[in-house]
Amino acid sequence: MAILVTGGAGFIGSNFVLEWLAQSSESVVVLDKLTYAGNPDNLSSVQNDARFKLVQGDIGDRTLVSDLLTKHGIRAVLNFAAESHVDRSIHAPGEFIQTNVVGTFELLEAVRAYWGALEGDARQAFRFLHVSTDEVYGSLGDNDPAFTEQHRYEPNSPYSASKAASDHLVRAYHHTYGLPVLTTNCSNNYGPFHFPEKLIPLMILNALNGKALPVYGDGRNVRDWLYVTDHCSAIRRVLESGLLGETYNIGGWNEKTNLEVVHTLCDILDDLSPRSDAKSYREQMQFVKDRPGHDRRYAIDASKVERELGWRPAETFDSGIRKTVRWYLDHPQWVQGVVSGAYRDWVKTQYGQ
Ligand code: NAD
Ligand code: TYD
């Protein structure tokens, strides 16, 4: 028995795989296209674990997915694979449609055929868990209540529209074919292995490199932050006990403006790795042109997953953000590999072509 984790070399997927192997005896097959965001180095600590296998490939490759499902007797698919960066989706939406919409469709088709041929307990136990985002719900006003699972979908960026489309396909495969699906919609994650194009790792690395800290617009957009291992524990809980066809909102009850986040990062860095001139990293902050269509506020109401499945986050924002800064300070080689693109060479060395 094994699980298939798509996108398992990315930020959240790799954290999930590492925790899974630490906590379970069950094998993991990772299917990852290894785009710029996929980094096998994230998984180097388990590369010699006999229960772990990394396959480079596309979720849109139905033949490959079908072969993996059969060959490894997969009992659950966890779909993390996606193009995930809003700014990239604004510059070049095509890849987002290809992977997030068409790729998810091809993956669902492969899974539907495989599950359709299962019998007895194996058919009963099979699960397809789709990892999605709060961004499908659109943007909240300052005083609006947080997103519940009943909130209507109002995606505003090519990224969130493509994720919304994938959520709808997953829902339809349950409704139409009875595919045993679960969907999670999570708020912004942060923590180890976060690719430095996203706000938190970008600010940490720019600060340390003496570069500007670019704050979009007025810096008062609000995100609801969740430490990545809390997201992983929620996904495990939903996989174990979630009701088929249901969606679960996952969040950290940690709404912060971008300014609050950047100030906090600067203050922690001032403490852990002070500038040589003893000035604050806050001096490097710069307001820049806003993101087009920038969603003002996201906030997750995570009471359903707590009430029905007993899940709550373990980290507060204060504990998680400090751990995160520490992790980046303690892993200069990982940073160097990502920034220089050297991890691509590592793939060739370790896994061949
Ligand atoms: P990421 O960009 O760090 O990783 C995505 C991974 O998917 C990469 O390893 C990439 O190589 C792989 N991938 C891309 N296209 C693929 C394809 N066609 N076939 C196979 N693999 C492919 O993203 P992340 O931040 O780890 O997000 C993982 C999932 O969680 C995504 O579905 C995202 O929408 C969702 N999510 C992310 C956040 C967040 O804050 N990062 C919050 C909520 C939900
Ligand atoms: P990001 O990490 O890209 O996540 P998302 O857009 O999916 O929420 O951005 C988080 C917030 O930080 C968002 O409001 C945009 C803002 N931001 C900046 O102000 N400057 C930056 O350089 C980046 C990357 C993001």
**Which residues are known catalytic residues?**
134-135, 159
Do 192 and 158 touch, CB atoms closer than 8 A?
no
Alpha helices in 150-250 (DSSP H): 158-177, 199-208, 228-241
Residue 188 Cβ contacting ligand 1 at under 6 Å: yes
Mean pLDDT on 153-166: 98
Q: Out of 6, 12, 85, give the residue to mutate to test ligand 1, the one with the largest number of ligand atoms within 8 Å of its CB.
A: 12
- Percent of the chain residues past pLDDT 90, beyond the cut: 95
pLDDT in tens, 265-290: 999 999 999 999 999 999 999 999 99
Nearest CA to ligand 2 atom 5: 86
State the distance from the centre of ligand 2 to the C-alpha of 348, rounded, in angstroms: 32
Q: How confident is the model at residue 346 (pLDDT cuts 50, 70, 90)?
A: very low
Q: What is the dihedral of CA 28, 34, 36, 38, to 10 degrees?
A: 10
**What is the C-alpha separation between 36 and 44, in angstroms, rounded?**
17
Mean pLDDT within 145-149: 98
Domain positions in the chain are 2-193+225-253+295-316
Percent of the chain, pLDDT > 70? 97
Residue 341 above 80 pLDDT? no
Contact 294, 216 (CB under 8 A): yes
Q: From the CB of 186, is ligand 1 less than 6 Å away?
A: yes
Rounded to the nearest whole angstrom, what is the distance from the C-alpha of residue 180 to the centroid of ligand 2? 34
- Closest ligand to C-alpha of residue 262 is 2
> What sign has the CA pseudo-torsion 170, 292, 137, 258?
positive
Q: What value does the mean pLDDT take over residues 107-135?
A: 98
pLDDT at residue 340 in the model: 76
Domain 2-193+225-253+295-316: homologous superfamily in CATH: NAD(P)-binding Rossmann-like Domain (3.40.50.720)
Q: Average pLDDT of the chain?
A: 96
Question: For residue 345, how far is its CA from the centre of ligand 2 (angstroms)?
Answer: 29
Report whether residue 223 contacts ligand 2, using a CB cutoff of 6 Å. Answer: yes
Q: Which atom of ligand 1 is nearest to 9's Cα?
A: 9
Protein residue with least CA distance to atom 14, ligand 2: 221
Residue 339 has pLDDT above 90, yes or no: no
The runs of H, that is alpha helices, within the chain are 11-23, 62-71, 86-91, 94-96, 104-117, 120-125, 158-177, 199-208, 228-241, 258-272, 303-309, 317-330, 332-340, 342-351
Which ranges of 4-119 does DSSP label H, i.e. alpha helix?
A: 11-23, 62-71, 86-91, 94-96, 104-117
Could you read off the pLDDT of 216-265 as tens digits, one per residue? 999 999 999 999 999 999 999 999 999 999 999 999 999 999 999 999 99
- Choose among 295, 298, 270: nearest CA to 285: 270
Tens-place pLDDT, residues 299-313 = 999 999 999 999 999
Residue 314: which residues within 8 A CB-CB, separation 6 or more? Answer: 227, 229, 230, 233
Q: Is 342's pLDDT higher than 90?
A: no
What's residue 351's pLDDT? 47
- pLDDT at residue 349 greater than cutoff 90: no
The ligand whose atoms approach the alpha carbon of 201 most closely is 2
pTM of model > 0.85: yes
